[in-house]
Amino acid sequence: MTLRYGYGTNGFANHRLDDALEIISGLGYRGVALTLDHNHLDPYADDVSRQVAALAGRLERLGLGVVIETGARYLMDPWHKHAPTLVSDAGREKRIDLLVRAVRIAADLGAEAVSFWSGIKPAGVPDAVAADRLLAGCAKVAAAADEAGVPLGFEPEPGMFVEDLDGYDRLFERLGRPPCFGLTLDIGHCRCLERQSVPDCVRRAGSRLVNVQIDDMRRGTHEHLEFGEGEIDFPPVLAALGEIGYAGLVAVELPRHSHAAPDVCRRSLDFLRAAEPVEGAA
């Protein structure tokens, strides 16, 4: 198969970014899912332009593709995880600003996508109000992405306002089906939440799929597990990605495994390579 595996920097939280990239490349990965955060390319740093230029050169030397992830927990608010969001009661413009910054960084890095999600709906907010807030925010981000020529990967996330593929479809239609507004699919979330099989989720995503996060999970939980610790049968999932002709990164997302990042990173790539269907097999 020709799948391109990457690894998420949120699983290297205790490493300097340069060291994490060296390990990821040295183990044989072909890309990195870079979460903008305090210790890994802070988008609010005074010298962010210089850092981005240096990073672009480093990624090229290491032969790593890149997608930009925007799910840092406390980047904007040191007291509240992931706040504010696109559906928050206040501060939504701050989230939009972060996403526009991410789009600009992605353009300068030649990134393959910028991934983001809706956020959790505040208690007491009607669905219609949250939907309008999300629509307005996504429209602004999509306009910036279209101008910069950067694909967006909107991620349905369990527990958030848009948590499944049906929710993504509704949002995509309300936005007017902009070409830049693609889909990020977390394979673990498909097992956690979706009513259809994980390979069928991949097939349903089809040509809209611009970013894949991969990990193991059990149905009804939202715990990112190492491969083999959950319930997902990975060979059919990888085969489905091949069937739809997916050419983007398939990036391991294990944000709670930084304490053992190099070993987990190595084991993950070994597992995925072993799980690939044999060429020509049924």
- Dump pLDDT digits (tens) for 104-117: 999 999 999 999 99
Residue 30 CA to residue 36 CA, distance in Å, equals 19
Contact between 249 and 67 (Cβ < 8 Å): yes
Contact between 36 and 75 (Cβ < 8 Å): yes
Task: Please state the domain extents for the chain.
Answer: 4-275
Q: For position 237, what pLDDT does the model report?
A: 96
Diameter of the chain measured on Cα atoms: 54
Does 4-275 carry CATH code 2.130.10.10?
Answer: no
Question: pLDDT, tens digit, for every residue of 39-49?
Answer: 999 999 999 99
Q: Is the pLDDT of residue 171 over 60?
A: yes
Give which of 43, 37, 42, 30 is closest to 10, Cα–Cα.
37
Question: pLDDT, tens digit, for every residue of 79-131?
Answer: 999 999 999 999 999 999 999 999 999 999 999 999 999 999 999 999 999 99
- DSSP symbols for 239-279: HHHHHTT--SEEEE--TT-GGGHHHHHHHHHHHHHHHSPPT
Residue 237 CA to residue 240 CA, distance in Å, equals 5
Element (DSSP H or E) covering residue 37: none
Residues in CB range of 226: below 8 A, 6 or more apart: 215, 216, 254, 257, 264, 267, 268
As to burial, measured by CB atoms within 10 angstroms (0-12 exposed, 13-18 middle, 19+ buried), residue 280 is: exposed
As to burial, measured by CB atoms within 10 angstroms (0-12 exposed, 13-18 middle, 19+ buried), residue 258 is: middle
279 falls in which pLDDT band (50, 70, 90)?
A: low
Question: pLDDT, tens digit, for every residue of 141-157?
Answer: 999 999 999 999 999 99
Model pTM score: 0.95
Q: Give SS3 for 23.
A: helix
Q: Is the pLDDT of residue 220 over 80?
A: no
